[in-house]
Structure 1
């Protein structure tokens, strides 16, 4: 009987721990989706708060820091019109969350509207009770429909 009770306590503790991870995962997934909306709407004020001061952004045409990404979005040099998200996964390690998105991104780049399939890596760091975006990297997918 004692082993049964101990076994049940272990199972309950494991389920509780999964529930906590699931809640953080959902928080990060929602934050990522909101980020795509804010980028589409060119909502610089919110993005400025979300992007960590030392954040890095990796694109097909180069890489740069927070201020240049803000300027690119504000100027419309890259307009992230719509991200169709197909797959999402989150891995949380201590105060860091790594999110992978498989997306088709409709964007206007240099005045030309383009759609590209990407695997996007987003790294979030929890600081002072809130999540900050530390890195956003685009990897273009090759093959039929980016699959």
Structure 2
């Protein structure tokens, strides 16, 4: 009987531990989804001060027209070289691996590029890294899809 009780207690502890881990992971996933949603709004608002604190110092950005680092991305946003007017998010998924989160968005992006308003369907990959208890955007990559979302 004592062995049964010990096994039962250990089983309850393991189930509780797994449940807590799952809840924590879901909370982190939701935090990343909210951060991504806010990022789209900050980009639409050209709020480079907030974006500067979100973008990791070594972050990289991949667009249809090229790739570059943090300073150029902030300059492009500030100048309106690319104005991310509105991102309509259709799907989102998040995978957490240690201190890294990979978020995939399927979006329609309404943007102004070179003075022309355009809408493009994209799969957007966002990579976030958690350093010093703060999530920072490490990579933002746009892959244009061939069909509208």
Shorter-chain TM-score category?
over 0.9
Aligned pairs, how many?
A: 145
Bigger Rg, which one: 2
Deviation per CA, 1:74-118: give whole Å up to 9, x if none. Answer: 110100000001111111111111111111100001111111111
Partner residue, 1:78: 82
Scaled by the length of structure 2, what TM-score is found? 0.93
Scaled by the length of structure 1, what TM-score is found? 0.94
* Unpaired segments ≥5 residues, structure 1: none
* Unpaired segments ≥5 residues, structure 2: none
Partner residue, 1:61: 65
- Give the whole-Å Cα distance in 1 for the aligned partners of 2:93 and 2:75: 29
Q: CA deviation at 1:5?
A: 3.6
- Give the whole-Å Cα distance in 2 for the aligned partners of 1:49 and 1:8: 42
- Give the whole-Å Cα distance in 1 for the aligned partners of 2:92 and 2:18: 23
Aligned alpha-carbon RMSD (Å): 1.1
Q: CA deviation at 1:121?
A: 0.4
- Give matches, 1:2-81, under 5 Å: 2=5, 3-81=7-85
